[in-house]
A and B are shown apart, each in its own frame.
Chain A
Amino acid sequence: MGKFIGKSIKRREDARFLTGKGKYTDDIKLPNMAHAAFVRSPYAHARILNVDTTAAKIAEGVVAVYTAADGPGDYGVPCGWQVNFKNGDTMREPQHPLLAKGKVRHVGEPVAIVIAESLALARDAAELVDVEYEELPAVTNPKAAMQAGAPLVHDDFPDNAAFDWCIGNDRAEVEAALDNAYHVTELEFINQRLAPNAIEPRSYIADYDVNGDKWTLYTSTQNPHLIRLLLCAFVLGIPEHKVRVVSYDVGGGFGSKIYHYIEEALLTWVSKQIARPVKWTADRSEAFLMDAHGRDHVVKSKMGFDKEGNIVAHLTDEYCSMGAYLSTFAPAVPTYLHGTLFQGLYKTPLIHVNVTAPFTHTCSVDAYRGAGRPEATYLIERLVSKGAKEMGMDPAEIRYKNFIPPFDGVNQPGYQTQVALQYDSGNYAPVLEKALEAIGYEDFRKEQEAARKEGKLLGLGISTWIEGCGIAPSAVVGALGARAGLYEVGHVRVQPTGKVSVYTGAHSHGQGHETVFAQFVADKLGIPMDDVEIVHGDTEQVAFGMGTYGSRSLAVGGSAIIKSIDKVLEKGAKIAAHKLEAAVEDLEYAEGKWTVKGTDKSIAFGDVSLTAYVPHDYPEGLEPGLDFSSFYDPSNFTFPFGAHLAIVEVCAETGKVTIKRFVTCDDVGNIMNPMIVDGQIHGGVVQGIGQALLEEVVYDESGQMITGSYMDYAMPRADNVPMIETHNTVTPCPHNPLGAKGAGEAGTIGSTPAVVNAVIDALWHLGVKDIQMPLTPQRVWKAMNQN
């Protein structure tokens, strides 16, 4: 531990956010900027018979109106991950046009874009675009989409399947083990569709500069370089060096701002057509209709146990919706980010996961905080808790019995799962022990018993979780279908005066990189934090990057910076040795200076950096300057884990669930800033509670979204949730220099099943074995009163 690593340093970015000086994309105003509004499909599935833009084109303040006929971006937006069918057939990949051609395939799909002098005038004129539709039948449930005779989303894909996929042991072997199991627990449910709902809506400004035929795209994205690559190389076919992508402050992402959306490509195209800057910011209704959703799995699972409660086999079949088009990472989410986590924390010897991924007439589904791992954890943890109940076992005891024994990945090898991944390091029992102790498990059971006698329904739910994050080794993800590498870039520029600018390809949209990265950079260099600046979110400043998602910023982005720091110190040592007239081997570096071991002869970091830039008295043959950029490609994913416990009270009269306590014990590897890690856990837990109790995107049978606003889609508010009691253990990641595993998604992954298990625990004696999420009072009341 140094001066800053491991300390809850207050965030330097707060000053601007707290005074209203943040620079979110919609805050930017450029001279002569026009505004865009979209004409969107009111139907989930319809043939476009005619689009009449005559009235709109002559409306007040209108600059231009475009439809698909004007030919924006012939290729559409691409998908970044290919998952082929089990039989080897290529994944079916529909074109995703920037403006709908011939047909619309989900409510909200853009048919025309109207550009005007103001937003109000653009919206007025959009009302004047007359689109004639022939409405067609739609399908929104992924299982229904695979039934014979279901309406087709894409006419050339005869059964709606984008791909199917499986992983794990031989299915017949798993089925045989289930047949022979002492007890088999079954679950069938829908892991419901969620809307990510970053509070800042997506926003873009495209600014075409005729001088130099160049663009600047200001965008609310989690990964500016990836957007630039997709936009240039795949969508518009423009040279990458002609486009600068800038993403200053971004108001939350949760996955939804990873993807390259049609609006940002279209605006870039429009800006050149009108030779003016053009802005579009989604309103919340558009966010609901267009921002890639999460989850939407129809699940059927079986878990077999022996007499002692050891898990002997696990079989799951799922239908996982892709939506109408394949979003950037969509195929990876229910497969490599999901099926590969079915080992959980358990020794389960036989696992088989089978996924069918159909198109439906809905918004695209892609990674949403946790991305595939919350879905895996939910079904595993529900099965384990349900199995324990059915077998009369304690839910903690059954987990202890099945935990993989400890391994640190150094003295013991990583743990090879049945589903491809090798866990890096793990020590699972302590997180559960610590969480149970914190919540007072034994006392609670007595309290629960006593409360029940008074007609009060209390329940405690356990969830022990693991995830694969810090994504990821490029060669591995490439072999699994990724069309991009998943390394990260860290550039450390030591200025002549010893001040340090760090350029990272990771992107902060709430995670506090400007503070946390500066903490470990300052510590590693032994200099004050104030001497370190972290720069991100601008392709013109940062050489390259893959962005922030999959809890990868510190584990991958931080490691890239460390690599560059190592190079700075290595070169600095040569300069120092020259100045001190000593051998490099005789020097040691600490507290910002090189010292000749055993002497008081030393030279400070700033003197060495100045020498590097004023190389008068300088080592022969050494290049001037102290400036290094590194690519870090990890050798494995990281595998944080933890235990989440919820205590709930269910109102016997109304079915309303109140969370009385929520306790976490998470192990995210080494921690740079505990305050920030706790904050990530708090937020993640509450998002997971949202799925358990409140949130669901609902489409009706015609494909109309009936939860398209905050009046209809319930997210957790301050009075829906308790304080979150956080604890932790530390099992360092053995394969990255910071020993960090990642904390961004942990909360969301662990919390949902803890809450549902708690509700079921409260109601089991009433014959309630499962309730479909979200656990609304109506559903809970119905379940309680079914018998």
Chain B
Amino acid sequence: MQIKLTVNGKEYSHDVEPRLSLTHYLREVLDLTGTHIGCDTSSCGACTVLLDGRAVKSCTLLAVQADGCEIITIEGMANGSELHPIQAAFKEEHGLQCGFCTPGMVMTAADILKNNPTPTEAEIRHGLEGNYCRCTGYHNIVKSVQRAAETLNQ
């Protein structure tokens, strides 16, 4: 099937198999390998991207369902060499260790802060609940989101 979509501000048009997941489309067709796959049940959140401004688990969507949509992946967050405030906050607060869940965490954090610019710790934890991290114990991820909120609200 033919699809047309915008990813990180660039338009793409491809003929894809109907069964191709959005994650595989991003990784295999567009070579945007920052979006990761950590499970097969939409439980881990490593594949989270922004679709029309909302955080979605891209493994839950087929590429054809994203037809006509605007997608932002982790590769589209920084402005050139300048990290997005959320990315910068993760670095400052050591919100990542192995880095595998990180893209999904950053995209989820973007969604949390878009909808709630001044979240409480509990609201942040609730918002991150769909993303697994096995390294950080979430402590520094929560702090990263708190710091990002401060920066974005300045």
Q: Which residues of A contact B (CB under 8 A)?
A: 8, 10-11, 13-22, 24, 26-27, 29, 120, 197-201, 249-252, 254, 281, 283-285, 509-512, 675-676, 678-679, 682-687, 709-711, 715-719, 721, 723-724, 747
Contact status A20-B73, CB under 8 Å? yes
Contact with A along B33-72 (1 / 0, CB 8 A): 1111111110110100000000000000000000000000
Contact status A17-B99, CB under 8 Å? yes
Contact status A251-B39, CB under 8 Å? no
Cross-chain pairs A/B with CB under 8 angstroms, 17 sampled: A10-B94, A14-B99, A18-B99, A19-B74, A198-B100, A198-B134, A201-B37, A201-B38, A283-B39, A284-B40, A509-B98, A682-B139, A709-B40, A710-B132, A719-B129, A721-B137, A721-B138
Q: Which residues of A contact B101 (CB under 8 A)?
A: 199, 251
Contact status A252-B142, CB under 8 Å? no
Contact with A along B90-106 (1 / 0, CB 8 A): 11101011111111001
Q: Which residues of A contact B90 (CB under 8 A)?
A: 14, 18
Of B19, B100, B106, B137, the residue contacting A252 (CB under 8 A) is B100
Known: A22-B99, A285-B40. A10 touches B91 (CB 8 A): yes
Contact status A20-B96, CB under 8 Å? no
**Chain A residue nearest to B31 in the complex (CB):** A29
Contact status B41-A711, CB under 8 Å? yes
Report the minimum CB–CB distance from A78 to chain B (whole Å): 28
Q: Which residues of B contact A254 (CB under 8 A)?
A: 134
Of A15, A683, A687, A723, the residue contacting B97 (CB under 8 A) is A683
Known: A199-B46, A718-B131. A710 touches B41 (CB 8 A): yes
Report the minimum CB–CB distance from B10 to chain A (whole Å): 15
Contact with A along B122-146 (1 / 0, CB 8 A): 1011101101111111111110000
Known: A120-B19, A683-B136. A11 touches B94 (CB 8 A): yes
Report the minimum CB–CB distance from B29 to chain A (whole Å): 11
Q: Which residues of B contact A716 (CB under 8 A)?
A: 137-138
Report the minimum CB–CB distance from B16 to chain A (whole Å): 12
Compute how far the CA of A160 lies from the CA of B38 in the bound complex, rounded to whole angstroms: 35
Of B74, B98, B129, B138, the residue contacting A198 (CB under 8 A) is B98
Report the minimum CB–CB distance from B82 to chain A (whole Å): 11
Report the minimum CB–CB distance from B80 to chain A (whole Å): 11
**Chain A residue nearest to B76 in the complex (CB):** A20
Of A18, A120, A717, the residue contacting B102 (CB under 8 A) is A18
Report the minimum CB–CB distance from A250 to chain B (whole Å): 7
Contact status B91-A250, CB under 8 Å? no
Q: Which residues of B contact A24 (CB under 8 A)?
A: 33, 36, 100
B150 at interface by CB-CB < 8 Å? no
Report the minimum CB–CB distance from B59 to chain A (whole Å): 11
Report the minimum CB–CB distance from A747 to chain B (whole Å): 7
Q: Which residues of A contact B126 (CB under 8 A)?
A: 718-719
Report the minimum CB–CB distance from A583 to chain B (whole Å): 46
Q: Which residues of A contact B133 (CB under 8 A)?
A: 199, 718
Contact status A120-B17, CB under 8 Å? yes
Compute how far the CA of A669 lies from the CA of B67 in the bound complex, rounded to whole angstroms: 56
**Chain B residue nearest to A198 in the complex (CB):** B134
Q: Which residues of B contact A8 (CB under 8 A)?
A: 94
Q: Which residues of A contact B141 (CB under 8 A)?
A: 718
Q: Which residues of A contact B136 (CB under 8 A)?
A: 679, 682-683, 686
Compute how far the CA of A251 lies from the CA of B83 in the bound complex, rounded to whole angstroms: 22
Report the minimum CB–CB distance from B154 to chain A (whole Å): 20
Q: Which residues of B contact A (CB under 8 A)?
A: 17, 19, 27-28, 31-41, 43-44, 46, 73-75, 77-78, 83, 87, 90-92, 94, 96-103, 106, 121-122, 124-126, 128-129, 131-142
Report the minimum CB–CB distance from B144 to chain A (whole Å): 10
Q: Which residues of A contact B100 (CB under 8 A)?
A: 22, 24, 198-200, 251-252
Contact status B135-A252, CB under 8 Å? yes
Report the minimum CB–CB distance from B123 to chain A (whole Å): 10
Contact status B39-A709, CB under 8 Å? yes
Compute how far the CA of A261 lies from the CA of B140 in the bound complex, rounded to whole angstroms: 33
Compute how far the CA of A251 lies from the CA of B102 in the bound complex, rounded to whole angstroms: 10
Report the minimum CB–CB distance from A67 to chain B (whole Å): 25
Q: Which residues of A contact B142 (CB under 8 A)?
A: 718, 723
Known: A284-B41, A723-B142. A679 touches B134 (CB 8 A): no
Q: Which residues of B contact A16 (CB under 8 A)?
A: 99
Interface pairs A-B: 4 shortest CB-CB: A20-B34, A251-B100, A17-B99, A686-B137
Compute how far the CA of A747 lies from the CA of B136 in the bound complex, rounded to whole angstroms: 11
Report the minimum CB–CB distance from A743 to chain B (whole Å): 12
Report the minimum CB–CB distance from B99 to chain A (whole Å): 3
Compute how far the CA of A723 lies from the CA of B35 in the bound complex, rounded to whole angstroms: 28
Of A20, A22, A678, A686, the residue contacting B138 (CB under 8 A) is A686
Q: Which residues of B contact A29 (CB under 8 A)?
A: 28, 31
Contact status B94-A676, CB under 8 Å? yes
Report the minimum CB–CB distance from B83 to chain A (whole Å): 6
Of B17, B77, B137, the residue contacting A747 (CB under 8 A) is B137
Report the minimum CB–CB distance from B134 to chain A (whole Å): 5
Q: Which residues of A contact B96 (CB under 8 A)?
A: 14, 17-18
Of B17, B35, B87, B140, the residue contacting A682 (CB under 8 A) is B140
Q: Which residues of B contact A18 (CB under 8 A)?
A: 74, 78, 83, 87, 90-91, 96, 99, 102, 106
Contact status B38-A724, CB under 8 Å? no
Of B73, B87, B131, B134, the residue contacting A683 (CB under 8 A) is B134
Contact status A511-B97, CB under 8 Å? yes
Q: Which residues of B contact A679 (CB under 8 A)?
A: 94, 97, 135-136, 139-140
Report the minimum CB–CB distance from A721 to chain B (whole Å): 6
Contact status A252-B134, CB under 8 Å? yes
**Chain A residue nearest to B127 in the complex (CB):** A718
Contact status B43-A709, CB under 8 Å? yes
Report the minimum CB–CB distance from A24 to chain B (whole Å): 7
Compute how far the CA of A322 lies from the CA of B53 in the bound complex, rounded to whole angstroms: 48
Q: Which residues of B contact A717 (CB under 8 A)?
A: 128-129, 131-132, 138
Of B32, B40, B137, the residue contacting A20 (CB under 8 A) is B32
Report the minimum CB–CB distance from A183 to chain B (whole Å): 37
**Chain B residue nearest to A715 in the complex (CB):** B132
Compute how far the CA of A254 lies from the CA of B100 in the bound complex, rounded to whole angstroms: 14
Contact status B35-A20, CB under 8 Å? yes
Contact status A685-B137, CB under 8 Å? yes
Q: Which of B78, B102, B121 has the most CB of A within 10 A?
A: B102
Q: Which residues of A contact B40 (CB under 8 A)?
A: 283-285, 709
Beyond contacts A679-B97, A718-B126, A724-B139: 7 other A-B pairs, Cβ-Cβ < 8 A, are A11-B94, A24-B100, A199-B36, A285-B40, A510-B99, A679-B139, A682-B140
